[in-house]
Every structure is written in C-alpha cells, then in structure tokens.
Amino acid sequence: MRIIISGGGTGGHIYPAIAIANELKAIDPATEILFVGAEGKMEMEKVPRAGYKIVGLPVVGIKRELTLANLAFPFKLGQSFLRAQQIVRDFRPDAAVGVGGYASGPLLLVASMKGIPTLIQEQNSYAGLTNKALARWAKRICVAYPGMDAFFPADKIKLTGNPVRSDIQSADQQTDAGRILFSLESTRPTLLVIGGSQGARTLNESLEAGLQRFVDAGVQVVWQTGPAFIERARTAIAATGSPLIKAYDFIYEMDKAYAVADAVVSRAGALSVSELCLVGRPAILVPLPTAAEDHQTKNAMSLVEQNAALLVNDRTAREELITAALNLLNNPVQRQQLSTEIKTLAKPNAARDIAEEVIKLTK
C-alpha cells in the first residue's frame, strides 16, 4: 500500500496522524507512507522525528482580522494545488487521509479529483472548516464524538474515537521511569499542567501567580509552558527557591508525564481529552475560548456531563485554578471517582479502527 497522510498545524492534528501511520505499518510493514504538511508548521519537525518522510505545501490560513498577509492567501493556495498535483502524481497513493489543518485541503481535493479514495479524521466535537469542505468527496469520515451527522453525511461516518500514540496506552507502566525523568519524590502529590504544544497563556499566567501556594502545600508540578513562556516560567520558579516546580517548553515523553500525575490541568483540545480518557487521570479542563465555534468547551462538556472531569472557565482561571487544583489533590475520593468515569469514555482501538478503514478503501 501507498498512503498519503495530510494535515497538521497543531499537535492535535499531528499526533493522531502519526498514530494512524504507525498502525498502518504495524498491520503491513511494507506500507509506504508520505506525510504532506504546511511549510513552516510544527509537523515539518515532529513527523521526521517520528520516522516518516514529509513534504510541505506553501498553503497558509486566512487571518480573522484584516491584514496584508491575507492578500497572499489566493497565491499560496494556487501554488499548493499545483504542488499537491505533483506530489500525488509522483507518489501514486492508493488512498489519502486528511486529519485537518491547512495542508489537507489542497491534497485531499487533488486526490479526489484523480479518483483516489479519501478518508477524513475529525478529532473534535465541532467539525473543522477544512474537513467540512472536504466531506462531500470523502469516502469515509472517522469521528471521535457522536452526533457528527450535524456536519457530515451520516452514511459516511464511523465513530472510532481519536487515535492516540501507543506509548500513551502503556503510561501506567512508566511511573518509576517518570519520577526519574522529572526528578520527583514518590511521597509528594504531583500536578501535571499541559496547555497544548504551544502552551496556553491563561494556564501559564495562572501557574506563575500561584507557584508559592504549590510550594507551601508540598505539591510537585510538572509544567509544560510552550516555547514562548519557558524563560518567564524559569524566572518565576527561581523566585520560589524550591525544586518542586519543573518547567519544560515541550514534553516529548508524555507517557511518563501522565504516569506521575495525580491530577492534570489541561486545555480541552481533542487530543488532550482523548489521552486523558485513555490514561484515566482526574482532570481540570480549561477550554480555550477562542477555539473555532468554541469547540474546546464542547469537548470539555462531553466529559463534565458524565462526571468525568472538572471545568474552570478561562476568564476566571487566574482566580480559581490554583484553588481548584489544590482541592482536587487533597480529595482522593473525588480523584478516584473522576478517574473511574473518564476511563469509561476511552477508545483504545481508535488508531487500529481507522487504519482498517483506510485499508478497506485501497481494496
């Protein structure tokens, strides 16, 4: 099989794509996979790190505000279609998979025009613009939430859940390794804070203002800040004079990070929600209010309504988040209840189910 996987822009698109690729290779090691991303976006670094070849399109998105950069959009889009045609012609895929993001639009449209079967994987509870536009040509649409027939033709939908990296599924076996990696003490409670691959300003500023409260409570914090905030975080940590707070611009070994966490504070991106369900960690979700169509709040509420997670609003997080986190860490009964409920929402076979749908298309 020869498969193209296209999309990216955020970890929420990239890591499911890599999980699908890994599963395709596990089923048939002879499968040839080519990724197609957007030039300058994070997939151009993350995908090769996972061992796959990637080529970039010059495609860009449209800014919501009026800006001169929008004038380049039609030219970049035209260039991307021409490049996508060349990629498809040279690689000759048996199927193409789109995971959302700018690059998947031109690539999947070109593949469809050439009669190559396409599959869309939609991670969120509110469908993205690119996937909605591509749905009419897709042969199969794999979704993570019920009710997605509001966006896609019902006869094309398959509810699979979101694919999660295989190492995440074995996180519980990594507790000792995680404590060594992050230099943690086994006798202290540990809070993991993750704001997505680029970090989250609200979470970062909330943590920054409340670090001393964690130190005073004897709580260890593993804090993924994103690259833009890391130096500021290190300065704030140094001011406490405590070794209990550990800041990282990006955490690659997330299985070990989840393994050591007694509770997690996170945005509510689709990938984070799916990973939290799989590892069964009690979580406080702080949805990004500017996400398209407020889809992160919808993602979060799918857990909150099942008593599987707690929610703190972004606008009140700076006043409420630290207290909520400390209260959760101090309430083992609540943590156990949340952990039990969130595990019931996990779909551990999502990557395999999607890979099998891709294989069906090639036949």
Q: Where are the beta strands (DSSP E) in 231-273?
A: 245-248, 263-266
Q: Residue 194 in contact with residue 275, Cβ under 8 Å?
A: no
What pLDDT is stored for residue 69 in this prediction?
A: 67
Q: Which pLDDT score is estimated for 199?
A: 79
- Flag whether 330 is marked binding: no
Per-residue confidence band for 356, with pLDDT thresholds at 50, 70 and 90: very high
Q: Is there a contact between 114 and 87 (Cβ–Cβ < 8 Å)?
A: no
Say what the pLDDT of residue 27 is: 96
| Residue-wise pLDDT tens digits, 118-169 | 999 998 888 888 889 899 999 999 999 888 999 999 999 999 999 988 789 8
Q: Is 272 annotated as a binding residue?
A: yes
Other beta carbons within 10 Å of 205? 16
- Report the distance separating Cα 98 and Cα 92, nearest Å: 16
Model confidence at 258, in pLDDT bands (50, 70, 90)?
Answer: very high
Mean per-residue pLDDT for 263-278?
A: 94
Q: Is 296 annotated as a binding residue?
A: yes
C-alpha closest to that of 202 among 321, 327, 64, 325: 321
Full residue range of the structural domain in which residue 108 is found = 2-164+348-362
Is 206 annotated as ligand-binding? Answer: no
Are 140 and 267 members of one domain? no
Specify the pLDDT at position 126: 84
Contacts of 146 (CB under 8 A, 6+ apart): 159
**Cβ atoms within 10 Å, residue 187:** 7
Same-domain pairing of 245 and 299: yes
Residue 74: count other Cβ atoms within 10 Å of its Cβ. 10
Asked if residue 194 and residue 148 are part of one domain, the reply reads: no
Task: Provide mean pLDDT across the span 286-308.
Answer: 90
Q: What is the CATH number of the domain that holds 35?
A: 3.40.50.2000
- Give the C-alpha separation, 312 to 190, whole Å: 19
Pairing of strands 2-6, 190-194: unpaired
- Whether the predicted pLDDT of 68 surpasses 70: no
Question: Based on the domain organization, do 108 and 56 belong to the same domain?
Answer: yes
**Alpha carbons 55 and 295: distance in angstroms, whole number:** 29
- Kindly write down the DSSP assignment for every residue of 77-113, as one continuous string: HHHHHHHHHHHHHHH--SEEEE-SSTTHHHHHHHHHH
Residue 71 confidence (pLDDT) above 80: no
Q: What is the mean pLDDT of residues 40-52?
A: 92
DSSP letter at 309?
-
The span from the CA of 55 to the CA of 14, in Å, is: 14
Average pLDDT value over all residues in the chain: 93
Q: Which helix (H) or strand (E) holds 362?
A: helix 350-362
In a shared domain, residues 160 and 179 = no
Q: Are residues 320 and 189 in the same domain?
A: yes
Share of the chain above pLDDT 90, in %: 78
Verify that 324 and 354 share a domain, yes or no. no
The mean pLDDT value for 305-310 works out to 96
Domain count of the chain?
Answer: 2
Predicted confidence at residue 286, as pLDDT, reads 97
160 closest CA partner among 141, 139, 132, 135? 141
C-alpha–C-alpha distance, residues 120 and 113, integer Å: 15
Burial class, 363, CB count within 10 angstroms (exposed 0-12 / middle 13-18 / buried 19+): exposed
- At 56-67, the pLDDT tens digits run 998 876 666 666
Pair (77, 182) in one structural domain: no
Sign of CA dihedral 132, 138, 139, 142: negative
Residue 233 and residue 188 share a domain: yes
73's tokens: 């959009």
Confidence bin at 103 (pLDDT 50/70/90):
confident
Model confidence over 180-233: pLDDT tens digits? 999 999 999 999 999 877 779 999 999 999 999 999 999 999 999 999 999 999
Closest listed residue to residue 118, CA positions, set 5, 1, 33, 20: 5
Q: Is 40 helix (H, G, I), strand (E, B) or coil?
A: coil
pLDDT at 85: 97
Question: Rounded distance, CA 146 to CA 139, Å?
Answer: 19
pLDDT at 61: 66
For residue 70, the model assigns a pLDDT of 67
pLDDT at 93: 98
- Report whether 275 belongs to an annotated binding site: yes
Give the pLDDT mean for 288-306.
89
State whether 22 and 48 are in the same domain. Answer: yes
For the stretch 23-38, pLDDT in tens is: 999 999 999 999 999 9
The stretch 301-315 carries a mean pLDDT of 95
165 is in an annotated binding site: yes
- Residue 271 annotated as part of some ligand binding site: yes
> In the prediction, which pLDDT does 175 show?
96
pLDDT of residue 62: 62
Residue 160 and residue 110 in one domain: yes
Q: How many CB atoms lie within 10 A of CB 21?
A: 25
**Strand, coil or helix: what is 146?**
coil
What secondary structure letter does DSSP report for 191? Answer: E
Distance CA 35, CA 52 (A): 7
- Could you tell me the pLDDT band of residue 294, with boundaries at 50, 70 and 90? confident
The answer to whether residues 318 and 331 belong to one domain is: yes
Other C-beta atoms lying within 10 Å of the C-beta of residue 289 = 12
Q: Does the annotation flag 124 for ligand binding?
A: yes
The predicted structure's pLDDT at residue 11:
74
